[in-house]
Structure 1
Amino acid sequence: MASVGDSAVWREQPVQVRRPAVRPSQTLLKFGRSVAAIAALLAVWELAPRIGAVDSTFLPPFSEVLQAWWQLALSGELVSHFGSSIARSLTGFLLANAIFIPLGLLVGWYKPLASLLNPLLELFRNTAALALLPVFILILGIGETSKIAIVMYASSWPILLNTISGVRNVDPLLIKSARSMGLTPRKLFQKVILPASLPTVFTGVRLAGASSILVLVAAEMVGAKAGLGYLINYAQFNFQIPNMYAGIVTISGLGLLFNGALVALEKTFTAWKHTQAD
Structure 2
Amino acid sequence: MSLLTLDRKAAPFSLPAFRWREARWLSPVALLLLWELGSRTGVIPPRILAAPSAVAETFLQMTVSGELPGNLAVSLARAATGLALGLLFGVTFALIAGLTRTGETAVDPLMQIKRTIPVVALTPLFIVWFGIGETAKVALIAVATVVPIYLNLFAGIRGVDPRLIEAGRSFGLSQRELIVHVILPGALPSFLVGLRYSTGIALLMLVVAEQINASAGLGHLINNARDFMRTDVIVVCLVVYAFLGLAGDLVVRALEARALAWRPSFVKS
What band does the TM-score fall into relative to the shorter chain?
0.7 to 0.9
1:88-134 CA distance string (max 9 Å, x none): 11111112212321321221111111012222111111111111011
Q: Which of 23, 33, 50 pairs up with 1:46?
A: 33
Structure 1 window deviating more from structure 2 (214-223 vs 227-236): it is 227-236
Q: Which of 52, 55, 68 pairs up with 2:44?
A: 55
Structure 2 match to 1:78: 68
Gaps of 5+ in 1: 1-28
Q: What's the secondary structure of 2:139's corresponding residue? A: helix
Aligned length: 248
C-alpha distance in 1, partners of 2:37/2:200?
Answer: 33
Structure 1 match to 2:255: 265
Q: CA 1:36 to 1:255, structure 2 compared with 1: closer, same or farther past 3 Å?
A: farther
Which letter maps to 2:44?
D
Structure 1 window deviating more from structure 2 (160-169 vs 117-126): it is 117-126
Structure 1 match to 2:154: 164
- Residue 54 of structure 1 deviates from its aligned partner by 6.0
Kept after mapping to 2: 8 A contact 1:49/1:61:
yes
> Could you state the TM-score of these two structures normalised by the residue count of structure 1?
0.82
Gaps of 5+ in 2: 1-17
C-alpha distance in 2, partners of 1:111/1:36?
Answer: 53
Q: CA 1:175 to 1:93, structure 2 compared with 1: closer, same or farther past 3 Å?
A: same
RMSD: 2.3
Q: What's the secondary structure of 2:189's corresponding residue? A: helix
- Residue 192 of structure 1 deviates from its aligned partner by 0.8
Which letter maps to 1:99?
F
1:22-81 CA distance string (max 9 Å, x none): xxxxxxx7xx95x85456324313323514696243233322211111111112111121
- Paired-residue identity, %: 34
Which letter maps to 2:234?
M
C-alpha distance in 1, partners of 2:29/2:161?
Answer: 45
Does 2:213 match 1:226? no
